Amino acid sequence: MPFILLQQDPQLLTSCVFLLGLIAGSFLNVVIYRLPLMLHRTWRRECRLYLQLPDTESGETFNLLLPASHCPACHSPIGVLQNIPVISYLLLGGKCRHCGAAISWRYPLVEMLTASCSALIAWHFGYSMALVFALLLTWSLIALSFIDIEQLLLPDEITQPMLWLGLLLSVFDVFTDSQNSIIGAMAGYIILFSVYQAFKSVTGKEGMGFGDFKLLAMLGAWLGWQYLPLIILLSSLTGAIVGIGTLIFAGEKARKPMPFGQYLALAGWLALLWGDALNDLYLRLSGLIG
């Protein structure tokens, strides 16, 4: 019965998915914070093993589930009532209940962003199998974006499973067919890898990381090769605007590596929702079609 109501009432479906997005956003905050730390610990352990150095890492279990949520300043446990998405942050005034340490604004931002994007996905796709996987892609792109912003890192632990899932979904024509998906994955990687090699040969510097190649390959697998030009155009345009604006207002302080993954993720998400309309608009503006 509840599923029938969701199928018949788009507004109820959107509202429920919004609430689900708040919960998902709370978990994404854990992923954004902990996954890079987990990777760094693994890399340090592997380096020590290779160099035959003693392992000095703590034996404490550290993953996405353990230890339980706690304040990073005073290590006081965060109870259920202090962990309600957005609401707890507002009630606590953005500070730890025990020590008064400031809580990053990123936490409610990710929760609200995830909930809002999830609701928009629900409104667009409606009650369907595509909705389930579009939500999963949306949540993955949000996690990747914030990790890239904070760490300049696009973890394989997210991009590679999602790439394979995109290829698998193409077998069932969820977003595209297998031929377009396979070509999209291959072309997505090759295009940015070629740009990387060309830039490096001319300047002697690395213009982007390998994670960007894998992210575009992932988007190609999910959406098909037809949307790659749009994704590249939108991400490059957005990155250029933000980069130029940052240079103008921040000057020399802004001369540091810019995470490009967030722009690829945004462009890919827009293509997921309005790819056909945006492609048609671009072709009309460019005069390729009447």
pLDDT beyond 60 at 254 = no
- ∠ at Cα 258 (23, 21), nearest 5°? 10
pLDDT-derived band of residue 197, with 50, 70 and 90 as boundaries? very high
pLDDT beyond 90 at 212 = yes
pLDDT beyond 60 at 290 = no
Mean pLDDT of the chain: 90
- CA 156 to chain CA mean position, Å: 12
- The pLDDT of residue 252 is 56
Which pair of tokens denotes residue 258? Answer: 């810019």
Task: Give pLDDT tens digits for 158-196.
Answer: 999 999 999 999 999 999 999 999 999 999 999 999 999
Greater model confidence, 65 or 140: 140
Greater model confidence, 75 or 215: 215
- The pLDDT of residue 289 is 58
Task: Give pLDDT tens digits for 15-63.
Answer: 999 999 999 999 999 999 999 999 999 898 889 888 888 877 767 788 8
Residue 59 three-state SS: coil
Greater model confidence, 186 or 73: 186
Mean pLDDT of 257-274: 94
How far from 110 is each of 22, 26, 92, 106, 174, CA to CA, in Å?
9, 8, 17, 6, 27
**CB-count burial class (<10 Å; 0-12, 13-18, 19+) for 66:** exposed
- The pLDDT of residue 242 is 86
- The pLDDT of residue 8 is 86
CA–CA gap between residue 90 and residue 186 (Å, rounded): 45
Residue 3 three-state SS: helix
pLDDT-derived band of residue 12, with 50, 70 and 90 as boundaries? very high
- The pLDDT of residue 162 is 98
Task: Give pLDDT tens digits for 100-148.
Answer: 889 899 999 999 999 999 999 999 999 999 999 999 999 999 999 999 9
Task: Give pLDDT tens digits for 273-283.
Answer: 999 999 888 77
Mean pLDDT of 216-234: 97
pLDDT beyond 80 at 14 = yes
- The pLDDT of residue 100 is 84
107 and 115 Cβ atoms separated by less than 8 Å:
no
Confidence (pTM): 0.94
CA–CA gap between residue 209 and residue 101 (Å, rounded): 35
How far from 275 is each of 72, 251, 280, 283, CA to CA, in Å?
41, 35, 8, 12
Among the residues of 92-177, which ranges form H helices? 106-125, 129-151, 156-171
What is the DSSP code string of 192-211?
A: HHHHHHHHHHHHSS--S-HH
Q: What is the dihedral of CA 119, 122, 124, 127, to 10 degrees?
A: -160
CA–CA gap between residue 231 and residue 210 (Å, rounded): 17
pLDDT beyond 80 at 255 = no
